[in-house]
Amino acid sequence: MLEFPRWRKIWLWMITLLAIAAALPSIFSAANVSWPEQLPEPTVNLGLDLAGGSHILLEADPGQVAAQRLENMEESARGVLNDAEPRIRFGDVSTRDGQLSFMVESAADVDRAREELLPLINGTGLIQEWDLQVIDETRFVLSQTDDGAENAVTQAMDSATEVVRKRIDALGTREPTIIRQGDTRIVVQVPGLQDPDELKALLGQTAKLEFKLVDLDALPSNVAAGVAPPGSQIFPYVEGSAQEGQFLAVKRLGGIKGDNLTNAQQSFDPQTNEAVVSITFDAEGGRKFASLTEQNVGKPFAIILDGKVLSAPNINEPIRGGSAQISGSFTTDTANQLAISLRSGALPVDLTVVEERTVGPDLGADSIKRGMIAMMIGSVAVIALMVASYGRFGVYATAALGINVMMLLGIMAALNTTLTLPGIAGFVLTIGAAVDANVLINERIREERRRGRRVIAAVENGYKEASRAIYDANITNFIAGVLLFLFGSGPIRGFAVVLIIGLFTSVFTAVTLTRMWVAGWLRKTRPQDLNV
Amino acid sequence: MRLLKLVPENTNIKFLKLRIPFYIISVLLMIASWGLVFTQGLNYGVDFAGGQEIRATFVGEETAPVAELRETVSALEQVEDPVIQRFGEENQVSIRVKLPPEAEGVPEFANQMTVAITNAIKVEHPEVRIDGVDSVSGKVSGEFREKAVYALLAAMIAIALYIWIRFEWQFGVGALFALAHDVSLTLGFFALFQLEFSLQIIAAILAIIGYSLNDTIVVYDRIRENLKKYRKMPLPELLDLSVNETLARTVMTSLTLLVALLPLLFYGPASLFGLVAAITLGLFIGTYSSVYMAAPILIWLGVNSNSFVPEETVADRQEKLARGES
């Protein structure tokens, strides 16, 4: 018991001081004292429920990715078959049940068609993206493989995360966190944001911009009834436009997508003085745009944003410079928002807000202040009770408790974890466990003294006998913590992380550190009696 | 300096004398709790029920006009049965509304609802401050419910397994029973008083399980020790002795935690009230269950003084016989 080799003491103090040092920045910032800039600054992140801000969970629909993929496949397949030398004739194209199927007109073309399609099916990566079957001699059926569909969702989510990041950066908010979660979700956390509406409007916009030729052959009665002629699609006009409530038929294939934009700015139309968005294409997009407008001078083309027609102006002359204007009853704000969305690129998949939590910053600050004061009062009461009950041993216990709190904060800061409201429950439990460990030890020492053991033997036995229950209790809680982390969702995980770290710090401080102090004191003074 | 001793030395309280009546009461309470949970239901917050919660402070007003708000909000289109409660200070409220089924999959819907509600309030009370908005879709709230249940069950089963390995199977069952008791009564309490049940409360229940487990293990550890020490003592007496020997620790730990929790309960932030109230309640339930649920069950499960003595194997016996011992 009294044997505490020097190396072990140095070692324990080093761990303690290191953890406390890691806690200092957090404590300074909580007390609103500035921290010298030259020093590293790992502080405990406060969760948005404590610090105020917005937490938004976005979810994508994998079905939409698959549908988009099917549409792209149809376009590519048509392309390669038409471009083949000589051209491969085909018909009866259908995209039902997530499959693309078509018939080549001559059975002699089957092998050639298969040859042309192979690069599309295999994709560029290691996994096979599509399954190709030929049934009834001339019918091709292309279906998505599970791997391919999964891969497409992963890629869509990766780029969606990137787009979300760009859009939020454009808002100029401080230190946003954007993390992919699970297969189809993105978490966005913006501290201090009071009004999340703008953010949500920005994230809810897919910003998929398309330029498509208007189908002039469509019967107006069919269009009004929402029936698309073959090869066409029907889109509604955007809300707020003069044609709101009306529909427009456009050619399904052959348009241009807004993927090739290099810039988008809000500006004003010099003639009408209304707010518009000016866009600039890159070289490839500019070329495509020029050839589309050249071939269709005098005809109208529709500007479609997220499946709604913004406007359908006539092409007066070919547009060759690679820049154009989008008009469509904008206000300055909506035009600006669209410009930001276009600049950051279209989301490859629609994102839906499935969870939103906003905490006003006033409330957060007030919560922390009141929580701090309440904890201060509680600490004083605990210290008083411990010292009154166990004297010197109570002093050791409370010193250990103080170090425990610091170490826990320090480790959390070093690991860059976030403290949330449920985390505070974990904190309370940790402090409870630490207090309990010292109470157990001290009560046991009392008991051993009552049984007539001499001072050193009583202390030694006290630590030994109490340790069994302390370790058993901590290991069970540790196991529970790990399982909570594995099976729990966000807030439960926050609790589990604090619990797990706290178990280590509380055993270290309440058992190991107090033991070192008690041993040092016993060795120095060799008391004949204990006041415990 | 004379030190404070909360529990006199060498107490000899016959705790287990009342084990049967207490058991009956506790089991009845557990049944009643589950009955309440199934009939009354828990007052799920938006975390578990989905929907929207708006928290607002009426700056510069003494009290929040709850009745008037109820009328204003109910009058809005698409809002059915809003739950409007005081929350924290006198002038703070929480307004909870369910999203109608047609809102599922329509991202703008929840947003429009928030705007509609806040605008309606601002007509009469321009000074209102919106402190927070939570909106959780039905799908996500369903996942929260599912995950919370899985996490709790997984943790409880693992705890029981560990205690079985470290002690004996009877102790594992006893600890599991005590935990089930604590969780049931806490749920019953929330169902009875219709307090808002959210993810925070799950965190509180986890903390309760943690405390209760500490208590149970301390008592069990002492029982294990005494079973080895007093091989001839009848089990009820031995359990009483163990509880009495650990009584000073139980009282001291509970009291220390209580003095730490009370300031948080009465002065802490409103957002923490549910959490702290649940933990405080759990402190009492957990301490009680360690003594009256976890210990007596050992008698009925047939723990005896041989439990912690290594079993004599057939080989041992043959060896003994060969040496001519009985």
Q: Who wins on pLDDT, A158 or B320?
A: A158
pLDDT of res. B106: 63
pLDDT of res. A194: 62
CA distance A128 to A178: 31
pLDDT of res. A501: 94
Q: What is the mean pLDDT of each run of 10 residues along chain A (532 residues)?
A: 82 91 80 64 76 86 85 84 84 83 85 83 75 85 86 87 86 81 88 73 79 82 76 82 81 76 83 84 83 84 84 81 79 81 80 84 72 86 93 94 92 86 82 91 92 91 93 91 85 86 94 93 88 79
A162 touches chain B (CB under 8 A): no
How are the residues of chain B apportioned to helix, strand and coil, as percentages rounded to the nearest 5?
A: 65, 10, 25
Which among B10, B162, B261 has CB closest to A476?
B162
Enter the CATH code of domain B51-136: 3.30.70.3400
pLDDT of res. A459: 93
pLDDT of res. B217: 94
- The separation between CA B161 and the C-alpha centre of its own chain, rounded to angstroms, equals 20
In the predicted model, is pLDDT for residue B326 greater than 60? no
Which among A472, A487, A492 has CB closest to B203?
A492
CA distance A29 to B164: 46
pLDDT of res. A448: 92
Question: Counting one residue from A and one from B, how many pairs have CB atoms under 8 Å apart?
Answer: 245
Q: Annotate A356-410 with three-state secondary structure.
A: EEEECHHHHHHHHHHHHHHHHHHHHHHHHHHHHHHCHHHHHHHHHHHHHHHHHHH
**ipTM attached to this prediction:** 0.84
pLDDT of res. A342: 81
Q: At what angle do helices B138-166 and B169-193 cross, to 10 degrees?
A: 150
pTM for the structure as a whole: 0.78
CB contacts, 8 Å: B162 with chain A:
475-476, 479
A79 touches chain B (CB under 8 A): no
Instruction: Please report the residues numbered 490 through 509 in chain A whose beta carbons come closer than 8 angstroms to any beta carbon of chain B.
Output: 490-492, 494-495, 499
In the predicted model, is pLDDT for residue B27 greater than 90? yes
Domains of chain A: 6-50+361-525 (1.20.1640.10), 62-149 (3.30.70), 204-358 (3.30.1360.200)
pLDDT of res. B309: 64
Q: Do A422 and B199 touch (CB under 8 A)?
A: yes
Q: What is the DSSP string of B47-72?
A: HHH-EEEEEEEETT-SS--HHHHHHH
A431 touches chain B (CB under 8 A): yes
Task: Characterize the bridge pairing of strands A53-60 and B43-44.
Answer: unpaired
Q: Who wins on pLDDT, B9 or B251?
A: B251
Q: Who wins on pLDDT, B239 or A365?
A: B239
pLDDT of res. B325: 59
Please give the average per-residue pLDDT across B61-70, as a whole number: 84
pLDDT of res. B28: 96
Give the three-state DSSP class for A302: strand
pLDDT of res. A109: 83
The ranges of chain B annotated as CATH 1.20.1640.10 are 15-41+141-300
Q: Who wins on pLDDT, A491 or B226?
A: B226
pLDDT of res. A206: 78
pLDDT by residue (tens digit) across A274-317?
Answer: 888 888 888 888 888 888 888 888 888 888 888 888 888 888 77
Exposed, middle or buried: residue A170 (CB in 10 Å: 0-12, 13-18, 19+)?
A: middle
Give the three-state DSSP class for A241: coil
pLDDT of res. B245: 92
CA distance A449 to A393: 14
CA distance B132 to B248: 45
Residues 6+ apart with CB under 8 A from A246: A224, A236, A237
The ranges of chain B annotated as CATH 3.30.70.3400 are 51-136
What pLDDT band is residue B79 in, cutting at 50, 70 and 90?
confident
pLDDT by residue (tens digit) across B109-162?
Answer: 777 778 788 888 888 888 888 888 888 888 888 888 898 899 889 999 999 999
pLDDT of res. A418: 84
How many residues belong to chain A?
A: 532
In the predicted model, is pLDDT for residue B107 greater than 60? no
CB contacts, 8 Å: B202 with chain A:
422, 491-492
Q: What is the average pLDDT score of chain A?
A: 84
pLDDT of res. B285: 93
CA distance A382 to B253: 10
pLDDT of res. B23: 93
CATH architecture of the region B15-41+141-300: Up-down Bundle (1.20)
